[in-house]
Amino acid sequence: MAAEYAVRCVLYLAQQGSDVLVNRQEIASQARIPDSFLTKIAQDLARAGIITIKQGAKGGYALHRPPRQVNMLEVVEAIIGEISLNECVTKPAACPASPNCAANLVWQEARRRVRETLLAADFEALAKAGACVSPFPSPLSPPEARP
Amino acid sequence: MAAEYAVRCVLYLAQQGSDVLVNRQEIASQARIPDSFLTKIAQDLARAGIITIKQGAKGGYALHRPPRQVNMLEVVEAIIGEISLNECVTKPAACPASPNCAANLVWQEARRRVRETLLAADFEALAKAGACVSPFPSPLSPPEARP
DNA sequence: GATAAATAGGACTAAAATAATCCTATTTAT
DNA sequence: ATAAATAGGATTATTTTAGTCCTATTTATC
Ligand code: SF4
Ligand code: SF4
């Protein structure tokens, strides 16, 4: 779930526009992320330079760049590390056969394509497409209007 | 590991040719699979119609079809179930946003591509390419010659 | 500067998935 | 009948994932 939560968090922020500060509780409730867990996820996202965190009173999270410049690949990998599909793809040492293994090449190709797909998915497009968070069919109360 | 073990097992069998019966210990040691674990994996593969199991003395496993007609996708999915990448892809009920979510579409596309890649990888090609098991650089003793 | 409202970050716990083993039963060749 | 195999269920151990909690720190505001 952690990676999925991260996507929702970033998407919610993208929908508010870049550099708009949103407090954690709002994100948590609107994107349906356990609030305490979100603190962990946010830390990873901040380390990856995807969001900025403002501490203290009136603190919160904001997107660190324009949504156009954030993609699903980096968000997901900020949380779970490099996607590998099979260990031998990213750590050849894990299997002695790897230098000479056709199956390894298949995994590499599969991985390449997944990553390529996620890379192409930027959050401007996702937010525009009405994705994920905002048009929830479920009866969540909308956040307070932002002044 | 289970899916990887399955690939190695099938690959080893493919290298022996289809319908060649090989006993479990040989497969386990040549493909570096814990012997007791292989019993479980073999059962899944048999259920999926990929291998046939012969019980009793002189029993063992054999490929159920020509290697050309077996691919990595079915082998992997025989073990781990359908690849989904993100739960909402195969179980839309898992997330209320799914019918209206651009991120969901991205996951679907990524999944499509992984599966497509694995589907295209048949075991005749893999075996021919000298993949995985046979040309191990490690010092494993070769199996007894088959009469 | 004091206070209150936020988040940080480490320690911890709970739950689930994965990997693997073991034991008894059954099948089959000889 | 015997021995050589695998089947299959029960069980265990390990790792990963998900999530919580508590104390410390940061910052806006009065
Ligand atoms: S046998 Fe090939 S696919 Fe399997 S782990 Fe080794 S390198 Fe990877
Ligand atoms: S928000 Fe979209 S991507 Fe995330 S779980 Fe729901 S449907 Fe899937």
Q: How many domains does chain A have?
A: 2
A16-20, B47-51, B62-66, B119-123: which range is least confident on average? A16-20
A34 and A49 together in one domain: yes
A61 and A48 together in one domain: yes
User: CA A87, CA A45: separation in Å to the nearest integer?
Assistant: 24
Calculate the CA B42 to chain-centre distance: 10
pLDDT value, residue A18: 83
A91 and A104 together in one domain: yes
What is the extent of the structural domain holding A103? 83-121
Give me the percent of chain B exceeding a pLDDT of 70: 88
Written as one letter, the residue type at A99 is P
- Kindly state whether residue B76 falls inside one of the protein's structural domains: no
The Å distance, CA of A54 to C1' of C3, is 19
Confidence of residue A132 (pLDDT cuts 50, 70, 90): low
A73-87, B108-122, B132-146: which range is least confident on average? B132-146
For residue B126, the chain A residues in CB contact (below 8 A) are: 102-103, 106
A128 and A66 together in one domain: yes
Task: Give the residue on A whose Cα is nearest the Cα of B136.
Answer: A97
- Kindly state whether residue A78 falls inside one of the protein's structural domains: no
For the record, the structure tokens of A8 come out as: 């929702």
User: CA A144, CA A52: separation in Å to the nearest integer?
Assistant: 22
Nearest of A32, A31, A126 to residue B107 by alpha carbon: A126
Give me the percent of chain B exceeding a pLDDT of 90: 80
User: CA A90, CA B10: separation in Å to the nearest integer?
Assistant: 23
What phi and psi values does residue B122 have, to the nearest 5 degrees? -90, 160
- Kindly state whether residue A107 falls inside one of the protein's structural domains: yes
B109 and B65 together in one domain: no
pLDDT value, residue B128: 87
Within 10 angstroms of residue A39's Cβ, the number of other Cβ atoms is 12
Confidence of residue B132 (pLDDT cuts 50, 70, 90): low
- Kindly state whether residue B45 falls inside one of the protein's structural domains: yes
pLDDT value, residue A141: 42
Written as one letter, the residue type at B29 is S
- Kindly state whether residue A77 falls inside one of the protein's structural domains: no
Residue nearest to nucleotide D4 (CA to C1'): B57
Residue A133's domain is classified under what CATH number? 1.10.10.10
- Kindly state whether residue A104 falls inside one of the protein's structural domains: yes
- The structure's pTM equals 0.90
- Kindly state whether residue B27 falls inside one of the protein's structural domains: yes
B6 and B62 together in one domain: yes
> Strand D closer than 7 Å to the CB of A55?
yes
A126 and A65 together in one domain: yes
A30 and A65 together in one domain: yes
Region A22-51: mean pLDDT is 97
Does the pLDDT value for residue B59 go beyond 60?
yes
A133 and A96 together in one domain: no
Nucleotide nearest to A46 (CA to C1'): C8
B25 touches chain A (CB under 8 A): no
A29 and A59 together in one domain: yes
Going B67 to B71 to B75 to B78, the CA torsion angle's sign is negative
Written as one letter, the residue type at B15 is Q
pLDDT value, residue B137: 33
